Amino acid sequence: MRHPKNVLFAGERRLPALPAVDHYAGSEKLMHKALQRQQELGPIFDITCDCEDGAHAGAEREHAEMAAGLINSADNRFNRVGARIHDVSHAHWRQDMEILVSQAGGRLAFITLPKPCCAADAQTQIETLRQIEKQCGLKRQIPVHVLIETHGALREVWRIAALPGVESLDFGLMDFVSGHHGAIPGSAMKSPGQFEHPLIIRAKCEISAAALASGVVPSHNVTTELKDLDLIRNDALRARREFGYLRMWSIHPNQIVPIIEAMRPDFSEVQAAAEILSAAQDTDWGPIQHDGKLHDRASYRYYWELLERAQVTGMEIPGEAGRRFFA
């Protein structure tokens, strides 16, 4: 029987099936703690080794080499560890990239590019990444995540989303607010302001729309709350339901599980998706009736991506759908 990935998206760029959480760790100690947590929970969240803000000035090479060693280590069981390098204006961004690709390119899940001021900045770094991959004899292209946190990047976000190799657009709320020189109050860096200020709403909607239209995953900014699990969960829920974000940053281990829970699809929809897709596969993806309603390939695409999202967030796939589609 034909798999939905081979039937439903012919000629169409589909969303990557990324875990719902991107957990940032800046120091070696925190990176190891994150890997331990990933081993406990499974590959339902990514880890980003931060070689930008996490690296001490003057120790950029040592920090990148440490991150590369960790990515190559046996503790990285699931190969879901990426790295954020310095921005294009920084003297060490190329060195970051050369170290990470040459030493850990085969297992690096992605590279995150911070603070582009325009699409050309991101394109410069992506083209350099491809050159370094060739020089290192790498047989794969490393996916790229781009941080949208400047006025220029937001202005050209649709061009950035369409760049080859980009699989995620990440909103950098703190830098974006700071870039407004006090015109946006500091209260917009946290809830409820981050979901209410018109300029923040505009930015979040534009990033999400550009990402989704280009087959790229929109990734929501961090929440500053570290202890109130209900508030963390509600921030992630609002990001998913109101703004269309399918992934969110985490900066503390306490945030990982509440975000994953909020990003999971509703169980009833997952149950329906499993039944609909199984029946559709039995008819080789022709139209079917389910619960008194007609379904065809247009709705199958929706339910397949919902089922994928359930799987990458650690939900149990009902019935035999797990064996059919994810074995």
Q: What are the φ/ψ torsions at residue 25 (nearest 5 degrees)?
A: -135, 130
Q: How far is CA 126 from CA 93, 113, 129, 147, 185, in A?
A: 12, 9, 5, 13, 34
Give me the tens of pLDDT residue by residue for the chain, a chain 327 residues long.
899 988 998 666 788 989 999 999 999 999 999 999 999 999 999 999 999 988 898 999 999 999 999 999 999 999 999 999 999 999 999 999 999 999 999 999 999 999 999 999 999 999 999 999 999 999 999 999 999 999 999 999 999 999 999 999 999 999 999 999 999 999 999 999 999 999 999 999 999 999 999 999 999 999 999 999 999 999 999 999 999 999 999 999 999 999 999 999 999 999 999 999 999 999 999 999 999 999 999 999 999 999 999 999 999 999 889 999 998
Domains located in the chain, CATH noted: 4-263 (3.20.20.60), 267-326 (no CATH)
Beta-carbon-side half-sphere exposure of residue 182 (alpha carbons within 13 Å): 0
In our burial notation (b when 16+ CB lie closer than 10 A, e otherwise), range 228-263 reads: eeebbbbbbebbbeebbbbbbbbbbeebbbbbbbbb
Distance CA 327, CA 319 (A): 13
Residue in the structure block whose two tokens are 């961090």: 222
Distance CA 178, CA 176 (A): 5
DSSP helix/strand/coil, 240: helix
Which burial class, exposed, middle or buried, applies to 105 when counting CB atoms under 10 A from its CB (0-12, 13-18, 19+)? buried
DSSP helix/strand/coil, 184: coil
pLDDT for 11: 64
Residue 48 pairs with which residues in a beta bridge? 24, 82
Residue 61 pairs with which residues in a beta bridge? none
Distance CA 278, CA 268 (A): 16
Nearest to 238 by CA among 205, 195, 200, 268: 195
DSSP letters, 48-95, are EEESSTTSPTT-HHHHHHHHHHHHTSTT--SS-EEEE---TTSTTHHH
**Side chain identity at residue 274, one-letter code:** A
Take residue 217 and report the two structure tokens written for it: 């995953």
Distance CA 98, CA 102 (A): 6
Name the maximum alpha-carbon separation found in the chain.
66
The answer, as to whether pTM is greater than 0.85, is yes
